[in-house]
């Protein structure tokens, strides 16, 4: 089965097993390793990418269901030397420690902020329910998101 997807703006053809997860395809076939393989079961959010604009755990999406899909990974979110406002806020607030959760957090929050550009603190907390961070604690992450209120948003 041939699966065609657009990944970070480039058309890609996947010739592997349609039961493979999107995470496997991204990491093993396309060397896009920003989405992290942590729990593999949809619990931690470290593998979050956008599929047709929606933030989803790539470990739970069989690639066979993604023919024609638009995929955005952390690598395609912003040019390497120009981080998004959210990425810059994470850096300013010293959010990142081991970094395993960071790409998934950014992808989840980017989708969230697109729909909710001026969220309340409690809403940010709820938006993070699917993303686990074992190092930083969530307060600084939420501080970083809230600091965007007076900027141009997360994009």
Interface residue list for ligand FES (CB under 6 A): 37-40, 42-47, 57, 59, 96-101, 133-136
Location of structure tokens 């496997």:
24
Q: How far apart are CA 138 and CA 144, in angstroms?
A: 10
Strand partners, 114: none
Angle (CA) 61 12 53, round 5°: 50
Token match 């940010």: residue? 124
Closest approach, Cβ 41 to ligand FES, in A, equals 6
- Compare residues 3 and 133 and give the one whose CB is closer to ligand FES: 133
CB of 135 to ligand FES, least distance (A): 3
Beta-sheet strands, E only, within 8-47: 10-14
For ligand FES, the closer CB: 117 or 137: 137
The distance of closest approach from Cβ of residue 149 to ligand FES in the complex, given in angstroms and rounded to an integer, is 23
Looking at the Cβ atoms of 121 and 134, the one nearer to ligand FES is 134
Nearest distance in Å: CB 128, ligand FES: 11
Alpha carbon distances (Å) from 56 to 1, 21, 49, 65, 87: 23, 12, 6, 13, 19
Give Dmax (Cα) for the chain.
Answer: 48
Encoded tokens for 53: 């604009």
50 Ramachandran zone, left/alpha/beta (phi>0; psi -120 to 50): beta
CB of residue 118 to ligand FES, shortest distance in Å: 25
- Residue 5 or 95 with smaller CB distance to ligand FES: 95
Instruction: Return the number of the residue (59 or 109) whose C-beta is nearest ligand FES.
Output: 59
């Amino acid at each position: 089965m041939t699966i065609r997807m657009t990944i970070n703006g480039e058309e890609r053809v996947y010739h592997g097993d349609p039961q493979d997860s999107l995470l496997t395809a991204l990491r093993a076939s396309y060397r896009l390793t920003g989405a992290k393989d942590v729990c593999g079961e949809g619990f931690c959010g470290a593998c979050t990418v956008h599929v047709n604009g929606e933030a989803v755990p790539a470990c739970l999406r069989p690639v066979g269901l993604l023919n024609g899909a638009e995929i955005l990974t952390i690598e395609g979110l912003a040019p390497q030397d120009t981080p998004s406002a959210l990425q810059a806020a994470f850096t300013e607030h010293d959010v990142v420690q081991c970094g395993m959760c960071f790409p998934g957090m950014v992808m989840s929050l980017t989708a969230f902020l697109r729909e909710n550009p001026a969220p309340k603190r409690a809403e940010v907390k709820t938006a993070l329910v699917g993303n686990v961070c074992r190092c930083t604690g969530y307060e600084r992450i939420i501080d970083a998101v809230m600091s965007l209120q007076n900027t141009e948003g997360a994009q």
